[in-house]
Amino acid sequence: MVKHLSTRFSTKMKEGKRLFKSPLSLRIVLGIFVSLVVIEGIVLVPSVQRRKQEILSQIEEVSFGKINWILMTYPTASGPELLAQLEQLQREPMMQIILGGAVYEANGRVVGTFGEVPALPPEEARQGNQRYLETDQGSRYDVAWLASQSDGGDEYVLLLRHDADGTRMALVFYILRITGIVLLISAFITLVMMVLLSRQLITPVLILRRDLILAGDALAKLTEGIATDQPAPPFQSDQFQRRDELGEVIAAFQQMYQQICQAIRDRKQAEAELRHSNEQMQKYLQQVDRVTDAATAVDEGTFIPESLDEVAARSDELGKLAQMFQMMASHVKQREARLQQQLADLTIEIDQAKRLKQVAQITKSDYFQEVQKELQTYQADQFWGEL
């Protein structure tokens, strides 16, 4: 059991290392991580602005409660009295964020100021606007209220300047907190995507790449004739029974491998048949040369019929031609023998006729006739007696 778990853990570690070494997985995962960070960054900008307004609203609410208390307590207070009440607020320990203020009449004339004078104009203050600004002293937040006397008298504009330096730090911590959460979420999603990609995409692609290398080696050996009848390599991609694009790629790869193997076998067979045809053609041409040489030998009188026995054993037109040539050569030889015999016989007859002609010419000559007559006049005894 422990060995099995150790082997499984080792396999998972190898898959993880292979995943981190895969350029495709790194690009995909990096793209996912960056996309998440960018999306969260886009969402973070309005979130920061909203958080900023929340913090400023909290500052405003603290002052709003005090201002309402002053207006309710002194409903008929004049401008200087309101200014004195605002200065009194600055001295309270809980209101140390108030750095200054001002009181304006309805026509915009200044009743009085204290501390840092707010930069918000009375016109905007009458419209209920606020202003957040950065100064040399730090962040400031100006807020305005309208105060009307209960007896229908004058109307005043109350302005307070607040220390907003804490707002900046709060926003920094808020951004850091949100950024940390975003990075953790992005890292978690990226890790999950890496695991899913490893099982669903990267591992099958790597296995398919290994199978492609094996297929290339097998096809090279098949092309060189090293392994003609060897079975297909053990492709590991066969284990993936998928119905998606990657499954179609694996099926196309296996089909392509079979088609290439069959094409190579067909080409090898065609080459063997062509080689055999060339050998047959060379042999055929050699035998044609034998027939041609035989014709020359017949002309020279050196022909040997047995030299065409191999060609005559063929069952095609060339064999028939060799057989006819042998028969013709035999007939020619026999005919020549007959002619030579006839020539010899004719020569003998000519010699005999010539000798007979010569004898006839001698016997018909006058000298031979005279000698014959003389011989007839002599008797044999006399002839031998004279001797």
pLDDT above 50 for 250: yes
Task: Quickly tell me which residue has 């066969």 as its tokens.
Answer: 238
Residue 139: other Cβ atoms inside 10 A: 18
pLDDT for 383? 46
pLDDT value at residue 12: 54
User: Residue 85: what residue type?
Assistant: Q
pTM: 0.49
pLDDT above 60: residue 252: yes
CATH 3.30.450.20-classified regions of the chain: 36-181
How far is Cα 31 from Cα 197, in angstroms, rounded to an integer? 13
pLDDT digits (tens, 9 = 90+) for 225-246: 665 566 667 777 777 777 777 7
Question: Residue 98's pLDDT is what?
Answer: 87
Residue 253 falls in which region: left (phi positive, over 0), alpha (psi -120 to 50) or beta: alpha
Residue showing tokens 């951004």: 175
Mean pLDDT computed over 61-72: 84
With beta carbons less than 8 A apart as the criterion, state whether 293 and 282 touch.
Answer: no
Distance CA(101)–CA(157), nearest Å, equals 11
Each residue's pLDDT tens digit, 136-168: 788 888 998 888 876 666 788 889 888 888 888
Lowest mean pLDDT among 90-94, 250-254, 321-325, 362-366: 362-366
d(CA 216, CA 116): 82
The alpha carbon of 48 is separated from its chain's Cα centroid by a whole number of angstroms, namely 46
pLDDT at 128 over 80: no
Q: Give the pairing type, strands 155-163 and 110-115.
A: unpaired
User: How far is the C-alpha of 114 from the C-alpha of 137, rounded, in Å?
Assistant: 16
Average pLDDT over residues 5-26: 59
- Asked if the model's pLDDT at residue 5 lies above 60, the reply is no
What CATH number should be reported for the domain whose range is 36-181?
A: 3.30.450.20
Q: Inform me whether the pLDDT recorded for 362 exceeds 60.
A: yes
318 or 164, which is more confident?
Answer: 164
- Is the per-residue pLDDT at 382 higher than 60? no
pLDDT of residue 384: 47
Q: What pLDDT is stored for residue 150 in this prediction?
A: 66
Q: What is the pLDDT of residues 284-313, one digit of tens each?
A: 788 787 778 777 777 767 777 777 777 777
Q: Which residue has the higher pLDDT, 133 or 10?
A: 133
For the chain, the three-class secondary structure string (H helix, E strand, C coil) is CHHHHHHHHHHHHHHHHHHHHCHHHHHHHHHHHHHHHHHHHHHHHHHHHHHHHHHHHHHHHHHHHHHHHHHHHCCCCCHHHHHHHHHHHHHCHHHCCEEEEEEEECCCCEEEEEECCCCCCHHHHHCCCCEEEEECCEEEEEEEEEEECCCCCCEEEEEEEEECHHHHHHHHHHHHHHHHHHHHHHHHHHHHHHHHHHHHHHHHHHHHHHHHHHHHHHHHHHHHCCCCCCCCCCCHHHHCCCCCHHHHHHHHHHHHHHHHHHHHHHHHHHHHHHHHHHHHHHHHHHHHHHHHHHHHHHHHCCCCHHHHHHHHCCCCHHHHHHHHHHHHHHHHHHHHHHHHHHHHHHHHHHHHHHHHHHHHHHHCCHHHHHHHHHHHHCCHHHHHHHC
Tell me what pLDDT residue 105 has: 87
pLDDT at 82: 85
pLDDT, mean of residues 206-222: 81
Average pLDDT over residues 262-280: 85
pLDDT at 313: 78
Nearest to 52 by CA among 138, 161, 132: 132
Integer Cα distance of 230 and 226 in angstroms: 9
Region of poorest pLDDT, from 90-99, 214-223, 299-308? 299-308
Pick the closest to residue 41 from 237, 175, 225, 188 (CA basis): 175
